[in-house]
A and B are shown apart, each in its own frame.
Chain A
Amino acid sequence: DAGVTQSPTHLIKTRGQQVTLRCSPKSGHDTVSWYQQALGQGPQFIFQYYEEEERQRGNFPDRFSGHQFPNYSSELNVNALLLGDSALYLCASSLVVAGDSYNEQFFGPGTRLTVL
């Protein structure tokens, strides 16, 4: 059973460019969350997708957008890249379960984005 997979592993872009990162959730999971992790910091929540819609969003500008496909995979798009967007971008998947149970999130290995 494959866990969460992300592509590409590494990416180098220049300021002003646009980038698309991809994530395939763990088998059986229907919810995908994206996080940005700067060097030496904890991951910061960007947004979450469920049923192909953005369900929650963190404190990130509109340059950050996403999409979820019918097969639950997801893309993160970042427009007009800034130097400060250089970070490890993590995708996490979970399965929404009705009730009070904890929806454990499983993280992928991340995509290392470098903006020059």
Chain B
Amino acid sequence: LAKTTQPISMDSYEGQEVNITCSHNNIATNDYITWYQQFPSQGPRFIIQGYKTKVTNEVASLFIPADRKSSTLSLPRVSLSDTAVYYCLVGDPRDDKIIFGKGTRLHILP
């Protein structure tokens, strides 16, 4: 399983766009990149998943360069309710075992 590295914490302000970058230098050919969000005392929630280029849904965008050694989760116009821990995960989607790192603690300020 590819190891991921992401910032321990980030601060931003309401209305700003937030970009969280994750490094995964030894990503394998079959690996996908998945991001989860977790609020305090709740289980993680799937945000977005991608393999290459760009993926967008109603919540976020995921940018993956051609070499796939990193990825960036982009949250447009954040609000206070986006304060949470964001986990970057890399793995084969056929493997149901999810390996979480320590995540990035995002704190949105008013």
A→B interface (CB under 8 Å): 4, 31, 33, 35, 40-45, 48, 55-56, 58, 88, 90-92, 94, 96, 100-110, 112
Contacts and interface: CB of A to CB of B under 8 A. Distances in A.
B27 to A, nearest CB: 16
28 contacts: A31-B96, A33-B98, A35-B98, A35-B100, A40-B102, A42-B100, A42-B102, A43-B44, A43-B98, A43-B100, A45-B97, A45-B99, A90-B43, A90-B44, A94-B96, A100-B94, A101-B93, A102-B49, A105-B96, A105-B98, A107-B43, A107-B44, A107-B45, A108-B43, A109-B41, A110-B41, A110-B43, A112-B41
Interface in B27-61: 32, 34, 41-46, 49
B42 A33 contact: no
Contacts of A40: 102
Interface in B64-86: 85
* Interface of chain B, main secondary structure: loop
5 pairs of A and B residues whose beta carbons are closest in the complex? A107-B43, A42-B100, A102-B93, A43-B100, A90-B43
A56 B100 contact: no
Nearest to B101: A42
A8 B93 CA distance: 31
Contact of B96 (A100, A103, A110, A112): A103
A94 B34 CA distance: 16
Contacts of A35: 98, 100
A39 B49 CA distance: 26
B96 A33 contact: yes
A73 B87 CA distance: 27
**Which of B34, B42, B87, B102 has the most chain A CB atoms inside 10 A of its CB?**
B42
